[in-house]
Amino acid sequence: MANTEKQVDEAIKREYEAGFVTDIEADTFEPGLNEDVIRRLSAVKGEPEFMVEWRLKAYRRWLEMQEPDWAHVNFPKIDFQNISYYSAPKREEDKPQSLDEVDPELLRTYEKLGIPLHEQEALAGVAVDAVFDSVSVATTFKDQLAEAGVVFCPISEAVHKYPELVQKYLGSVVPHGDNFFAALNSAVFSDGSFVYIPKGVRCPLELSTYFRINAANTGQFERTLIVADEGSYVSYLEGCTAPMRDENQLHAAVVELVALDDAQIKYSTVQNWYPGDEEGKGGIFNFVTKRGMAHNRAKISWTQVETGSAVTWKYPSCVLRGDDSVGEFYSVALTNNWQQADTGTKMVHLGKNTSSTIISKGISAGHSSNAYRGLVKYGPGAGNARNFTQCDSLLIGDTSAAHTFPYIESKNKSAIVEHEATTSKVSDDQMFLCRQRGIDPEQAVSMIVNGFCKEVFKELPMEFAVEAGKLLEVSLEGSVG
């Protein structure tokens, strides 16, 4: 066992591989936030009048709001006046037309992360709208998508090109005053992705965005809006890594999904932002609002593998407004050292015959704290609605903590909800069974934990499976303790 423990220690202590800083001059605002900053931000991006008004409305609302404190996390108070609200990588007058024109320094960053754009171009089926800090600098496979009529572009571009779509759907799922961080995002969001899939179109590619936080002291506020028109289908991949920094960085993104009648959206995330060092110093604060609105017979599926960030506060949700709509949430959340995660989902059933599934696997190691917080709500009109929830926690080491806070609210007699939760460590019985059959402890734990997360992994698209496996390796090896 001694040998195993050593391996475990090594695995747990492994340093963050994606920790480095790309040296690019950034065009950055002075820290601080007021109406002028928002006007300036909007002006820099040349936004139409309706956007300025919308941002200011959100800002005024935000001023009246209080920072929420109900989540099971602790972190130093954030000084919102000490954050710079705009940072764009230095670039030529015009946006790069091809990869050759992209700053080579930037391309190298992607290479270090193992996601070079060249390779992705070659990897058929993946178009990348890469967000480097705040402004999208490279977009590929546009033509192929354009052929299918799919719009996939930075949201700052969409504001100009498709103002009617943006105006109609922006804030329709997450209103500008939804919560403290969503209001802040609405006021200052810098960029993000916009996707529109026309009626009846099955998106020919899996769309993917890699987010990076780069310039120091810059909060990043992405805004993603995906609209799937009637009968369409899209699978969207989001992955994140961030350079090593000692100062906490704030990340408050908003993702809105609109699935119109018979549409399907599959949204997958691998999140590996800098979690802070072994003493809990540094790391990203990840306060994200993600929500999807499902109309009649539509389906929205969230899959997430959360391994990074010092503090995570994230509840990808589904509003099942239409009859027969379906919501899904599959999550693996791993916390180590001093990481804190309070994550889960909300399934709001409003339509008849709606159904939802929640599978959440939490793994906590070190001094970390991992909480599942979820809501399943049936409105009076949610006849025959169904939900099945399973949230399991695995504890590694006696200093970690795991919590479950499910809220279940039902106002319809024919709706049925089933919720189960378990918390345990890798059981001695399971270990005994494996070892008795000649499997070494390391492998045994690997098998057991793999089985623990299997239900979620199988929901991940192929493109992400490798990355997810790599990220989870730490948890697999660390489970022997």
Binding interface with other proteins (CB under 8 A): 64, 66, 70, 378, 380, 383, 393, 395-425
Q: How far is the CB of 35 from other proteins (least distance, A)?
A: 22
Q: Cα dihedral angle (376, 382, 386, 388), rounded to 10 degrees?
A: 0
Q: How far is the CB of 404 from other proteins (least distance, A)?
A: 4
Report d(CA 314, CA 252) in Å as an integer: 10
Nearer Cβ to other proteins (294/415) = 415
Nearer Cβ to other proteins (50/407) = 407
Nearer Cβ to other proteins (278/409) = 409
281: alpha, beta or left, given left = phi > 0 and alpha = psi -120 to 50? beta
Report d(CA 330, CA 332) in Å as an integer: 7
| Burial (CB count <10 Å: 0-12, 13-18, 19+), residue 159 | buried
Nearer Cβ to other proteins (134/389) = 389
Q: How far is the CB of 323 from other proteins (least distance, A)?
A: 16
Nearer Cβ to other proteins (10/418) = 418
Q: Report CA 234 to chain centroid distance, whole Å.
A: 17
Nearer Cβ to other proteins (91/419) = 419
Report d(CA 41, CA 55) in Å as an integer: 10
Q: How far is the CB of 371 from other proteins (least distance, A)?
A: 9
Nearer Cβ to other proteins (416/447) = 416
CA–CA distance from 89 to each of 93, 100, 119, 190 (Å)? 12, 16, 22, 12
Nearer Cβ to other proteins (395/456) = 395
Nearest to 344 by CA among 397, 400, 402: 402
Number of C-alpha atoms within 13 angstroms, CB side, residue 154? 21
Nearer Cβ to other proteins (314/386) = 386
Q: How far is the CB of 463 from other proteins (least distance, A)?
A: 34
Q: How far is the CB of 376 from other proteins (least distance, A)?
A: 9
Q: Which residues are CB-neighbours of 379 under 8 A, at least 6 positions away?
A: 348, 349, 350, 411, 412
Q: How far is the CB of 349 from other proteins (least distance, A)?
A: 12
Element (DSSP H or E) covering residue 186: helix 180-188
Tokens describing residue 84: 């710079």
Nearest to 290 by CA among 262, 325, 257: 257
Strand 87-89 versus strand 26-28 pairing type: antiparallel
Nearer Cβ to other proteins (69/100) = 69
Task: At 410, give phi and psi (nearest 5°).
Answer: -130, 135
Q: How far is the CB of 480 from other proteins (least distance, A)?
A: 12
Q: How far is the CB of 444 from other proteins (least distance, A)?
A: 17
Nearer Cβ to other proteins (231/344) = 344
Q: How far is the CB of 373 from other proteins (least distance, A)?
A: 10
Coil, helix or strand at residue 180: helix
Direct distance between the N- and C-terminal alpha carbons of the chain, in angstroms, rounded to an integer: 10
CA–CA distance from 329 to each of 267, 324, 361 (Å)? 10, 17, 11
Coil, helix or strand at residue 156: helix
Residues listed for the chain: 481
Nearest to 249 by CA among 479, 15, 12, 21: 21
Q: How far is the CB of 70 from other proteins (least distance, A)?
A: 7
Tokens describing residue 117: 């754009």
Tokens describing residue 45: 């991006």
